[in-house]
Amino acid sequence: MPITFSDSASTPTNYNNLNNTFGSSGPLASLYSSGYTPTILQYPSDLGSAQKGHMVVFTALETVPAGYDQNNSFSLSDAAKAAGSRIAAENFNDAGNVDQVTDLSFQPKRTKSKDVISLYMPDTINFQYQSSYTEVSLKDAAEEAAGALPSVLGSIGKAVTSVVDSKATKLALNSAGYAINPQQQLLFDGIDFRSYQMSFQFTPKNATESTLVKNIIQTFRSHAAPLIKTGAAGMAFIVPDSFAIQFIQIDNANGQNPFVTKLKESVLTNVDVNYAPNGIWSTHADGSPTQINMTLQFKEIALVDRGAIQAGF
């Protein structure tokens, strides 16, 4: 039996067909711990059926600003002090030393929100793995060394640099069919934060599904946006929320699909919504679009190194 929705099109009323995906032993069991009951937005309505088999689950993680109390006045200085205390407590030991450099983080504190969105596996999921390299010429490096260390290299360094840079030397070599080899080297600088995007197509068949799709899009946009706090004269943003994302395989006892890379906590950097994807504006009788395309672009907030890749990320 598929997950079914009430007329409000907001919360599923049956989870039996998810094979413990949302149960006490599934990978999303933590969503229900300590009395936590999420509001699940799901598309399509038969997502939990055996025919579908796979889904992607987005759990919103809400930013908790340091030193902020919605019932009291807001002070940037108080927030800075609270943030400094939190960073010191979480990243440093009693001796004032960093326990693990890799754990040093300046991300805001986040906690599970009530919003969980379950969607079908999209036809397109693009991951980008990028590393940064710099091209360096040994010739240029030698020239820089000669200029930076005159006391060490003295007249020899200046002579070498002047010969290499001499136009007369270059002309003479060129006329003889030669040129100075700059000895280019490619040096590793580091890795970039992994980014990825997913595209979804919604074709609501009735008013209930149209409302559901509207709520899904609005939920993504809301968690991707910051909040301006007027208590600080509008000078501060509350940082946008992040997402925990899982690729679920319904018939897998462990829940997650082992053949798709796992994702670290991610922020939603772009939401692209097209209400007329076929180039023609088309709506139902109530004015709701007959088709909507949504593209979500994410970026992980933690670097994925070789160890993380070997662990499935």
Looking at residue 223, what DSSP letter applies? Answer: H
Q: How far apart are CA 171 and CA 20, in angstroms?
A: 76
- Whether the pLDDT of residue 136 is over 70: the answer is yes
- Return the pLDDT at 215: 95
- Return the pLDDT at 117: 94
Phi and psi angles of residue 79, each rounded to the nearest 5 degrees, phi first: -65, -40
- Return the pLDDT at 247: 93
Q: How far apart are CA 280 and CA 274, in angstroms?
A: 11
Question: Closest by alpha carbon to 150, among 160, 142, 158?
Answer: 158
Q: Can you read off the two tokens belonging to residue 308?
A: 């993380």
Query: How many C-beta atoms surround the C-beta of residue 246 within 10 A?
Result: 19
Q: How far apart are CA 202 and CA 39, in angstroms?
A: 20
- Whether the pLDDT of residue 227 is over 60: the answer is yes
Alpha helices in 65-114 (DSSP H): 76-91
Q: Are 245 and 57 in contact (CB under 8 A)?
A: yes
Residue 86 domain-assigned?
A: no
Domain count within the chain: 2
- Return the pLDDT at 95: 41
Residue 77 domain-assigned?
A: no
Give this prediction's pTM.
0.72
Residue 103 domain-assigned?
A: no
Q: Which of 163, 189, 215 is the last residue of a domain?
A: 189
DSSP assignment of 293-305, as one string?
A: EEEEEEEESS---
Q: What is the mean pLDDT of the chain?
A: 75
Which of 15-29, 71-85, 129-143 is predicted with the least confidence, judged by mean pLDDT? 15-29
Q: What is the mean pLDDT of residues 137-159?
A: 60
Q: How far apart are CA 237 and CA 68, in angstroms?
A: 12
User: Do 179 and 236 belong together in one domain?
Assistant: no
Q: Which of 154, 172, 189 is the last residue of a domain?
A: 189
Tens digit of pLDDT for each residue in 239-270? 999 999 999 988 776 788 888 999 999 999 99
Residue 209 domain-assigned?
A: yes
Q: How far apart are CA 170 and CA 164, in angstroms?
A: 8
Tens digit of pLDDT for each residue in 90-106? 444 444 444 444 455 67
Q: What is the mean pLDDT of residues 128-134?
A: 89
Per the DSSP assignment, residues forming a β-bridge with 118 are 42, 57
Which of 17-21, 69-73, 114-118, 214-218 is predicted with the least confidence, judged by mean pLDDT? 17-21
Q: What is the mean pLDDT of residues 166-173?
A: 82
Q: Which domain holds residue 185?
A: 134-189
Amino acid identity, residue 123? D
Q: Can you read off the two tokens belonging to residue 96?
A: 């004032």
Which of 58-72, 205-219, 262-276 is predicted with the least confidence, judged by mean pLDDT? 58-72
* HSE-CB of 43 using CA atoms within 13 angstroms: 22
User: Do 125 and 249 belong together in one domain?
Assistant: yes
Which of 166-175, 193-202, 274-283, 294-303 is predicted with the least confidence, judged by mean pLDDT? 166-175
Q: How far apart are CA 306 and CA 313, in angstroms?
A: 9
User: Do 180 and 239 belong together in one domain?
Assistant: no
